[in-house]
Structure 1
């Protein structure tokens, strides 16, 4: 248990460092290429990798659509009436309580809810289910931001940076031992986002 806890801390530290490197790089496509290489290294070698030991993705790397610079934008966080908190079953980790923090409009059409994870330390969480879900990407959707785990591309006190090229599959896509919060209706759009991680 102790070893597992320490390797999880190391995984989260390395993910946070990976996103810090992305934020510091001015060439966005180069930052994305470096992010991909860092993720492949973690998935291939790290003890906390969600890939099983015999998963061919350890050798091939994770697949992605080509980088599209038009899919990076600053999104103003719009006010919303906060409904009751959303409680999500997280398997062995108990439950996750999420509060609606706002909503962002996407230039490609549709809106996404922005959630605040109401656990110790908190964090912004933006999942995405789009027209590729189940037809090009994982059916349960992908994540754009999960700051509790280090993924943050930047923002201000009124907006967040979204880059759909950085959409990634949750761990449960690779291994049933994880139980992940999936995209609710307010994080579902009809457009096909052929950017980011794919099947």
Structure 2
């Protein structure tokens, strides 16, 4: 049985739906941006984290651009996190003396994503490379995997910074990044395979357990 071609009215309806979805996505990004703006302006990181969690739950449970499937959204009661750990908050200089490297990583859906490594940060438990997403506009990107990945958190890793999506914790001074691992979060592909997300490169795998931020199981 062959499929009948769409009528003009059907095409028009689809185009209108697509146009509405772009406005919906704009609203989602504005709301995420506002959440991070409030985090950066707060003098109390733990209170800011609580507000960030509340804001994310509202978006995931009620926004049209939620990465959750409709079935998951119907029973959604909130994202899971480890308790806030003030010992996992750092303000660290970015070492831009590392050799620059441009390469392509695979996303969860098998698409190519160009990244440029432009720096590295050193933490008490290891180092992480800092990337620039090398597409129009660009942005700082800091994904990671740790010893919880594939068990208590997503095997493909979590994101700490993704300034393309407004996930930006700021800087205390020029040349530094604020890294609060309590704000590590799962990419959209963790919730639904229809999303395509760049995975954490091998250089950004920590051998320790980072029991902070979003988790997959209680």
TM-score band w.r.t. shorter chain: over 0.9
d(CA) in 1 for partners of 2:46, 2:202? 30
Summarize the alignment of residues 20-31 of structure 1 with structure 2, pairs less than 5 Å apart: 20-31=37-48
Larger gyration radius, structure 1 or structure 2: 2
Residue correspondences, number? 197
d(CA) in 1 for partners of 2:183, 2:108? 26
d(CA) in 1 for partners of 2:75, 2:48? 22
TM-score scaled by length of structure 2: 0.86
Contact 1:86 1:97 in 2 (8 A): yes
- State yes or no: 1:134 paired with 2:153: no
RMSD over aligned Cα, in angstroms? 1.8
Instruction: After the TM superposition, list the runs of 4 or more consecutive aligned residues in structure 1 that deviate by more than 4 angstroms.
Output: 89-92
d(CA) in 1 for partners of 2:108, 2:209? 30
Summarize the alignment of residues 96-135 of structure 1 with structure 2, pairs less than 5 Å apart: 96-107=113-124, 109-135=125-151
Shift of 1:177: 0.6
Q: Which residue of 1 aligns with 2:28?
A: 11
In structure 1, the gaps of 5 or more residues are: none
Contact 2:60 2:73 in 1 (8 A): no
In structure 2, the gaps of 5 or more residues are: 1-17
SS of residue paired to 2:71: coil
Query: Which of 137, 151, 166 is residue 150 of structure 1 equivalent to?
Result: 166
Encode CA deviations 1:13-61: one digit per residue, 9 max, x unaligned.
Answer: 1111100011111111000000000000000011010001121685320
d(CA) in 1 for partners of 2:164, 2:177? 15
